[in-house]
Amino acid sequence: MEKQVVKVGLMGFGTVGTGVVRIIQAHQEDLQKQTGLGIEVKKILVQNAEKGRALSSMSSSLTTDPSELLDDPDIDVIVEVIGGISPAKEYILRALEAGKHVVTANKDLMALHGAEILNKAQENGCDVFYEASVAGGIPILRALVEGFSSDRITKMMGIVNGTTNYILSKMSQEGADYAEVLKEAQELGYAEADPTSDVEGFDAARKMAILATLGFHSPLKLEDVDVKGISSVSKEDIAYGKQLGYDVKLMGLARRDGEAIEVSVQPTMIPKSHPLASVNGVFNAVYVYGEAVGETMFYGPGAGEMPTATAVVSDLVTVVKNMKLGVNGRGTVAPYKEKILKDDSQKLSKYFLRIVVADKRGVLAQITHLLADKNISLEQVIQQPYNNGEQAELIMVTHSSSKRDMDDVIAYLEQMDIISEVKSCYRVEGGDRL
């Protein structure tokens, strides 16, 4: 007899897991019409089955034993929203070995072990979808896999962490200090009590590793991403950037030139005219450049119970449609290209520099001579009095140079007697060279 209802095992019943159940219950008629099958959450794995839940109607479905999901032949799909690496990885691999399809929102796991999981899915003819792992409710992964399947992606650039975007937006709009805005973000629940993963760029780096793996078909990992957070960004950096026509964003960048790839997350100056400059608050946006289609941008809420749960259920619907058509596993493509990473001499960008110098004749000439030795020219320069006029502050935007040359320049500047301090150095992106 043909299956009429797809049974789901849900791992995790926190914020996102609750949202998944709410959507499945509330949209049952729509889901039936879209897929031709009913969808039922049969079992929910939790740490404490006695804990009070927002959806008390599901209390009879709770279990603390993962085998009740993984070894149940009636359960067709495992939805994993518990997060972390272990035991989530072990559960997902067991599910795939048992022929169960997997939907996950686990960015940590997919950034570190995505290639292994996708290979296991291919071996067993199973679907693995993980749309919710990158940008909440924005369907960016499906766009990369399906919408760009006939194109060749050369660059992805985006704001993929709502916490840091909120902080930088508030600093820009109100001229406030980083520490002040971080405290406010924590009080509002936008930042964790320990905000390290967000503000030091690690959360965004995991997401960029996932995007780069999918977009470039190479097995990129977290360790391949150059990461710098926003804790050193000052309101002065933001103010000077505005004078020069830029906003500061924590920007994820994945770029491929030929077969060589670079992936980074760092505070970045982008022109005020660029679409990403207008993305404020906790919203996310990803800018994708394809050889054929040109420039596209995906924008929306990057986190929260319902946006993330919507992405999870959307993946679940795709699994169920594939079951109805008998094509599960055929769309799961593990990375198939060799990973070739750029070295620092191949990573090209403009740079924003802010330095404190002795206020005397010939200083700027010495600095420009040093830059010229590395074939770096200046596009914009501002000089401001500093320390009651005893020193000067130079704010410069360079023309394109390599990361290696700029690192050499910074190291040399820090040794020069005429330089009191190198305050900041940020990449400048989003201009003519996309």
Catalytic residue annotation:
207
Strand pairing partners for 45? 11, 63
Q: Is residue 131 a contact partner of residue 311, using CB atoms and an 8 Å limit?
A: yes
DSSP secondary structure string, 49-99?
TTS--S-GGGGGGEES-THHHHT-TTEEEEEE-S-SSTTHHHHHHHHHHTT
Residue of 20, 9, 24 whose CA lies nearest to 98: 9
Q: What is the DSSP string of 367-381?
A: HHHHHHHTT--EEEE
| Assigned token pair, 281 | 């608050």
CA distance 426 to 162: 20
| CA distance readout (Å), 6 to 31, 36, 75, 136, 329 | 11, 10, 7, 24, 17
Q: Residue 104 forms beta bridges with which residues? A: 80
Residue 16: how many CA atoms within 13 Å on its side-chain side?
26
- Report the 10 Å Cβ neighbour count for 163: 24
The structure tokens 């020219």 sit at 377
